[in-house]
Amino acid sequence: MQILSTAYLPNILYFTKLLAGEPVLIEAHEHYVKQTYRNRCEIYGANGRQSLSIPTKRVEGCHTPIAAVEVDYATAWQNNHWRSIKSAYGSAAFFDFVADVLEPFYTTRHTSLLDLNMALLRSICRFMGVSPQIALTEDFVADYGHSASDCRQSISPKVRRWEQFGAVEYFQVFADKHGFLPNLSIIDLLFNEGLNAADIIRRSRV
């Protein structure tokens, strides 16, 4: 079994866990952790690796459960994210197909960050033609011991060693400027490789 945190447009390492052929539990009862992939993704822009973050509202401060974290719409982050995505991938081979899947999430609103992330994840999996066995945790377990592979903390912007997990290289729009950048958001792979994405992920397993 794989244990994962929720994530906004998760990276390729995250998807290697989803497609490992094991049941997956996504943490729904932890306290929200800042500066993680829970509300952040990384794409490949004209200047290299670019971070996109969803602003959030934590009604109970640092002790807010992840399921209670709300998306903050006080700023036009949806427009900003979509503009950045179009700028990064507008010339990619599969832009139109993937844009049809993603764009509705930047014109409608989800109150909960967890709900938004899960809805995006399900839509991306449907597009890829994969059906991982995913469920939300029913309570918080601090230590799963040897009963599961717990990646809640290890798939993190702060753990950069994961960038070199044996990722299979694929075409990237700006690779001629900055070279191949591993372990970006799944949308980087989708825009550039379309339905070949699942095969590339399976060949990129740790």
Q: Is the pLDDT of residue 67 over 60?
A: yes
Structural domain containing residue 57: 2-203
What pLDDT shows up at residue 161?
57
pLDDT digits (tens, 9 = 90+) for 158-187: 776 555 567 889 999 999 999 999 999 999
Those residues whose C-beta lies under 8 Å from the C-beta of residue 91, and which sit 6 or more positions away, are 173
Separation in Å, CA 181 to CA 10, 58, 139: 15, 32, 36
Tokens 């004209």 locate to 46
What is the distance between the alpha carbons of residues 134 and 3, in angstroms, rounded to a whole number? Answer: 10
pLDDT band at 152 (very low <50, low <70, confident <90, very high): confident
Query: Mean pLDDT in the chain?
Result: 92
Residue pair 15/47 in contact by the 8 Å Cβ criterion: no
Q: Model pTM?
A: 0.93
Report the sign of the C-alpha dihedral through residues 189, 35, 110, 4, in that order. Answer: positive
Residue with token string 């191949």:
180
What pLDDT is attached to residue 160? 65
Query: Measured between alpha carbons, how far apart are the two ends of the chain, in Å?
Result: 15
Number of structural domains found in the chain = 1
Cβ partners under 8 Å of residue 103, min gap 6? 82
Among 12, 7, 47, 17, smallest CA distance to 189 is for 12
Q: Where are the alpha helices (DSSP H) in 36-144?
A: 77-89, 95-102, 113-128
Q: Are 9 and 31 in contact (CB under 8 A)?
A: no
**Which H or E run contains 4?**
strand 2-4
Q: What is the pLDDT of residue 162?
A: 54
